[in-house]
C-alpha cells in the first residue's frame, strides 16, 4: 500500500481503516459464528456494536490481516486492490473471543455506502464534520516531539490547522507530502500546523526518520481526538483567529490540499 494507490482507493481504505463509527457495517445479515466446514473463519464472528471502540485504528493490509470475499475465499493483495478500487465493496472486521480483529470479509456495499465513499472522494463533509464547523474549539495544551508546548487559548490571532492521524493509517501517510507543501505555502505567516497522532513518541520518532512530516507532531493524541469527537482518520480541521472551527473534513480526496489552502487564505485575508 504505497504511492501507486489512487486517491479514490485511499478513500475506500479510509471507510473501514478509520471510520468504524458505532460499527455501522456490522448490522449486515451474516451469521455470528462461521462454521468450520463452510469457511476458514472458524471461531471468528462478525464484529458487532460495542466490539470495537469508535476511532480504534484498524490495519487494513492483506499482507498482515487475511482478507476474504463473501464466499470466504482468500483475496490476494492484487485482487484486494481491484475490489476496493471498484467502489463496490466494504471490508467488514471479524473478531475472536477477545474481540481482536483477525480477518476481514469484503461484502458488497449498499447504495448509501457507495454514495458516502463518492462524497468523501470529492472532498465532501459528512454530518459529523459539518456539525463541528462554527463551534468553539475546545482548549488544549499539547507538547510536540521537540517539547514545544501549544495551548490553543494562547494562539488567539493565529490560524491553527490540525491534522488527526496515525502511522498505520495508509491514507494518513499518503497525504503527508501535500500537507508538507501546505506548510511551505504559509511559512512565516500566522498559521500553526499541528499533527496530533495516536502513536507514542518512540514510534513517531522512528517514523519521521524515513518520512518527513513538517507539521508540529504531537504524540499520544487519543484524548484530544476523543474530545473533538474525531472517529475517522485523517481528519483535518482549521480553527480561526478567534478559536472557532471554520473547516473540518475526513478522508483523502483530490481536493484536500486545495480546500485547506483556500480556507486558510480566506481566514488570513480577514
User: Which sequence spans correspond to the domains of the chain?
Assistant: 7-120, 126-268
| Band of residue 118 on the pLDDT scale cut at 50, 70, 90 | low
pLDDT above 90 for 124: no
pLDDT digits (tens, 9 = 90+) for 45-87: 998 877 877 556 566 677 778 999 998 899 988 888 778 767 7
Matching CATH number, 126-268, of 3.40.50.1000, 3.10.150.10, 3.40.30.10, 3.30.420.40? 3.40.30.10
42 contacts 62 by C-beta, under 8 angstroms: no
> Side by side, which strands form the sheet with 89-95?
45-46, 89-95, 101-108, 67-68
Place of cell 502513536: 199
Query: Does pTM surpass 0.85?
Result: no
Compute the distance between CA of residue 160 and CA of residue 242 in angstroms, rounded to an integer: 10
Q: What is residue 15's predicted lDDT score, i.e. its pLDDT?
A: 42
Least confident of 24-28, 88-92, 111-115: 24-28
Backbone angles phi, psi at 262, to 5 degrees: -60, -45
Return the CA Rg of the chain: 19
13 contacts 60 by C-beta, under 8 angstroms: yes
Compute the distance between CA of residue 5 and CA of residue 82 in angstroms, rounded to an integer: 10
Amino acid at each position: 500500500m504505497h504511492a501507486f494507490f489512487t486517491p479514490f482507493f485511499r478513500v475506500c481504505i479510509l471507510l473501514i481503516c478509520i471510520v468504524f463509527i458505532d460499527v455501522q457495517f456490522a448490522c449486515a445479515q451474516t451469521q455470528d459464528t462461521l462454521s468450520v466446514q463452510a469457511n476458514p473463519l472458524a471461531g471468528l464472528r462478525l464484529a458487532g456494536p460495542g466490539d470495537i471502540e469508535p476511532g480504534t485504528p484498524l490495519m487494513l493490509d492483506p499482507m498482515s490481516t487475511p482478507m476474504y470475499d463473501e464466499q470466504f475465499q482468500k483475496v490476494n493483495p492484487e485482487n484486494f486492490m481491484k475490489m476496493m478500487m471498484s467502489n463496490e465493496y466494504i471490508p467488514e472486521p471479524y473478531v475472536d473471543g477477545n474481540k481482536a480483529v483477525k480477518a476481514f470479509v469484503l461484502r458488497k456495499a449498499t447504495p448509501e455506502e457507495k454514495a458516502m465513499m463518492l462524497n468523501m472522494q470529492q472532498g465532501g463533509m459528512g454530518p459529523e464534520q459539518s456539525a463541528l464547523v462554527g463551534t468553539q474549539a475546545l482548549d488544549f495544551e499539547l507538547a510536540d516531539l521537540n517539547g514545544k508546548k501549544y495551548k490553543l487559548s494562547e494562539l488567539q490571532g493565529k490560524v491553527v490547522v490540525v491534522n488527526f492521524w496515525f502511522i498505520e493509517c495508509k491514507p494518513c501517510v499518503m497525504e503527508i507530502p501535500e500537507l508538507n507543501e501546505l506548510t511551505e505555502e504559509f511559512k512565516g505567516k500566522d498559521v500553526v500546523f499541528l499533527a496530533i497522532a495516536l502513536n507514542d513518541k518512540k514510534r513517531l520518532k522512528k517514523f519521521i526518520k524515513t518520512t518527513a512530516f513538517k507539521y508540529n507532531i504531537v504524540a499520544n493524541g487519543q484524548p484530544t481526538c476523543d474530545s473533538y469527537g474525531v472517529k475517522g482518520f485523517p481528519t483535518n480541521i482549521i480553527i480561526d483567529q478567534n478559536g472557532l472551527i471554520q473547516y473540518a473534513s475526513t478522508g483523502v480526496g483530490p481536493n484536500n490540499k486545495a480546500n485547506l489552502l483556500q480556507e486558510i487564505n480566506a481566514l488570513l485575508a480577514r
